[in-house]
């Protein structure tokens, strides 16, 4: 299929919102598919964990998505989970689902190195606590396989670090996976676990989702609690990274509940995020803004795919209009908020730490972080508040906003940006960081491919607390297209190198 066309009607291979699959995908099953297969006795957590570990062994040498793998611990957990299912006493419907964790979130017994040489791995006893999302996944019986690569302190939109090197893209190891949750996105795309939990302070789950053809949600701030508090403050969210919208909704059900360690966490939601997922978009007021009104030049194939996705929703009964929000690019204010946080991170380490970090991070801290005054910070906060006000008013007339997730497809692994000129990552991610400023839910869902087989993502944004709505819109697009069925070349029969080949699940 060429860019600008949308896929055929969804095949029976999708897991449904109630967790009933038609077929268990042999190389990349969803969490909902596994839940139904376990319940029916058609597979076991042990079998699926062995499959996921095999995928890591086969594919990770190419993409370097994992920085820690614990096969012994995973197999023990999978065996225990298998026993619970056989006894009819699973901890939850996702007991035994293979899972990975971005190496920013604390994970009990495993070092959390955050891609930095400043952190000493120490002893297992030095890592006694799970982050809230990890705690919830563990309590549900998910099998934790290991931790995903991140750039140092998750600071940028590609995934490389002095500690762990570069993370490649499943659609071409010579392409970047994006960042900062690039390791999680590559792992999920290649079946190295069904899903992962990432973090997003300026686009860090959505950028790699767009580049890898996967799904990622940055929920409303506070929907997923965080501990310890992010140094980037209330810009930073945790979010599900999956291959389907239904799996993202399911994970949000699991991890989107309060934790006493996060005073800013939202109350437990009144209903499952799976409820209403299949209700469609008829009558919804949808705004399409290809540039947000900023001075952005999209790749023509990206813009064509995004417009085609908007037409899919229009054909489904949505009232789609092309309109820009009444906002301006908040990048300068974002830099102040982001890099003052990064400066505080590095200050926590010993003297000379600034000289031992990613050179790009050091330069950005010196330019935007350490020189910022309290007045600068307050001015940036005022910009943020005004941006939030304007978007709040925008959503009184428009239920959701559609933009490209990224104006470009994935670029070369050896570059920090598409032009290779050393510009900050914010120069090529104009659609993501504004919605960290406003704390709105934003979903990235696949909407096409370039002619040379690189994925394209659509971003769906709604007013704060309307997480269920962005999931519902994303699900309708997914239901009416087949982009999420397309597999990276390494997962195709015979290891085909043709990324345009489709395989029915």
The verdict on whether omega for the bond into residue 309 sits within 30 degrees of 0, i.e. cis, is: no
Task: Classify burial at 106, counting beta carbons within 10 Å of its beta carbon; exposed 0-12, middle 13-18, buried 19 or more.
Answer: buried
Determine which one of 161, 181, 186, 204 is catalytic.
204
DSSP string for 150-209: -SGGG-SSS-EETTTEE-EETTEEEEE--SSSHHHHHHHHTTSSSEEEEEESSSTTHHHH
Which DSSP category does 265 fall into? P
Whole-number Å distance between alpha carbons of 284 and 460: 13
Whole-number Å distance between alpha carbons of 261 and 328: 35
Is 493 within a domain? no
Determine which one of 35, 81, 102, 289 is catalytic.
102
Domains in the chain, number: 1
pLDDT value at position 505?
27
Is 505 within a domain? no
Check: CB of residue 490 under 8 Å from CB of residue 62: yes
Determine which one of 81, 180, 181, 210 is catalytic.
180
Whole-number Å distance between alpha carbons of 220 and 265: 10
Is 15 within a domain? no
Task: Classify burial at 350, counting beta carbons within 10 Å of its beta carbon; exposed 0-12, middle 13-18, buried 19 or more.
Answer: exposed
Domain that holds residue 121: 31-488
Q: What is the largest CA-CA distance in the chain?
A: 62
DSSP string for 292-322: TTSS----HHHHHHHHHHHHHHHHTT-EEEE
pLDDT value at position 251?
98
Long-range contacts of 382-386, Cβ-Cβ distance < 8 Å, separation of 24 or more:
383/330, 383/332, 383/333, 383/437, 384/330, 384/333, 384/337, 384/437, 384/438
Dihedral sign (CA 496, 244, 241, 383): positive
Provide the 3-class DSSP secondary structure of residue 68: strand
What is the CATH classification number for the domain harbouring 413?
Answer: 3.90.1300.10
Is 25 within a domain? no
Per-residue pLDDT of the chain (505 residues; tens, 9 = 90+): 233 333 323 332 344 444 443 356 668 999 999 999 999 999 999 999 999 999 999 999 999 999 999 999 999 999 999 999 999 999 999 999 999 999 999 999 999 999 999 999 886 667 899 999 999 999 999 999 999 999 999 999 999 999 999 999 999 989 999 999 999 999 999 999 999 999 999 999 999 999 999 999 999 999 999 999 999 999 999 999 999 999 999 999 999 999 999 999 999 999 999 999 999 999 999 999 999 999 999 999 999 999 999 999 999 999 999 999 999 999 999 999 999 999 999 999 988 999 999 999 999 999 999 999 999 999 999 999 999 999 999 999 999 999 999 999 999 999 999 998 889 999 999 999 999 999 999 999 999 999 999 999 999 999 999 999 999 999 999 999 999 999 999 999 865 434 344 433 2
Tell me which residue of 169, 170, 187 sits closest to 178, measured CA to CA.
169
Tell me which residue of 154, 196, 162 sits closest to 178, measured CA to CA.
154
User: How many Å separate Cα 202 from the centre of its chain?
Assistant: 11
- Is position 371 annotated as part of the catalytic site? no
Is 154 within a domain? yes
Is 22 within a domain? no
Is 10 within a domain? no
- Is position 180 annotated as part of the catalytic site? yes
Tell me which residue of 499, 172, 496, 154 sits closest to 357, measured CA to CA.
154
Is 350 within a domain? yes
pLDDT value at position 16?
40
- Is position 204 annotated as part of the catalytic site? yes
């Amino acid at each position: 299929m060429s860019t600008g066309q949308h896929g055929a009607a969804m095949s029976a291979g999708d897991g449904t919102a109630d967790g009933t699959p038609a077929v268990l995908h042999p190389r990349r099953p969803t969490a909902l598919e596994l839940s139904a297969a376990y319940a029916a006795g058609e597979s076991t957590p042990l079998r699926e964990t062995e499959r996921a570990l095999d995928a890591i062994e086969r594919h990770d040498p190419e993409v370097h998505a994992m920085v820690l793998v614990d096969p012994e611990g995973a197999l023990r957990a999978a065996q225990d989970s298998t026993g619970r299912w056989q006894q009819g006493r699973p901890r939850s419907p996702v007991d035994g689902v293979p899972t990975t964790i971005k190496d920013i979130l604390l994970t009990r017994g495993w070092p959390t190195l955050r891609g930095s040489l400043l952190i000493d791995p120490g002893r297992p006893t030095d890592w006694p606590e799970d982050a809230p999302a990890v705690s919830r996944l563990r309590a549900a019986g998910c099998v934790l396989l290991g931790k995903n690569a991140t750039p140092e302190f998750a600071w940028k939109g590609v995934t490389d670090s002095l500690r762990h090197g570069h993370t490649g893209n499943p659609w071409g190891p010579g392409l970047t996976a994006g960042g900062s949750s690039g390791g999680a996105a590559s792992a999920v795309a290649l079946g190295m676990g069904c899903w992962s939990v990432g973090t997003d302070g300026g686009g860090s789950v959505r950028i790699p989702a767009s580049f890898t053809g996967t799904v990622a949600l940055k929920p409303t701030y506070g929907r997923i609690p965080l501990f310890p508090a992010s140094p980037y403050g209330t810009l930073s969210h945790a979010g599900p990274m999956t291959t389907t919208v239904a799996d993202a909704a399911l994970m949000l059900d699991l991890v989107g509940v309060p934790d006493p360690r996060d005073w800013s966490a939202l109350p437990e939601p009144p209903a499952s995020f799976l409820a209403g997922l299949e209700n469609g978009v008829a009558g919804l007021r949808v705004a399409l803004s290809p540039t947000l009104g900023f001075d952005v030049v999209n790749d023509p194939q990206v813009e064509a795919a995004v417009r085609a996705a908007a037409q899919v929703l229009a054909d489904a009964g949505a009232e789609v209009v092309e309109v820009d929000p009444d906002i301006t690019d908040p990048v300068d204010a974002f830099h102040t908020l982001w890099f003052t946080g990064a400066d505080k991170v590095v200050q926590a380490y010993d003297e000379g730490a600034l000289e031992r970090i990613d050179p790009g991070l050091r330069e950005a801290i010196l330019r935007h972080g350490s020189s910022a005054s309290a007045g600068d910070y307050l001015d940036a906060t005022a910009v943020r508040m005004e941006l939030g006000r304007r978007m709040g008013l925008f959503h009184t007339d428009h239920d959701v906003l559609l933009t490209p997730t990224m104006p470009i497809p994935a670029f070369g692994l050896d570059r920090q940006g598409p032009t290779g000129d050393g510009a900050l990552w914010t120069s090529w991610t104009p659609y993501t960081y504004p919605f960290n400023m406003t704390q709105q839910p934003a979903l990235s869902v696949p909407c096409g491919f370039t002619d040379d087989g690189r994925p394209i993502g659509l971003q769906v944004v709604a007013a704060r607390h309307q997480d269920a709505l962005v999931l519902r819109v994303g699900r309708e697009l997914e239901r009416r297209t087949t982009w999420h069925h397309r597999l990276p070349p390494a997962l195709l029969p015979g290891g085909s190198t043709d990324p345009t080949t489709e395989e029915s699940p």
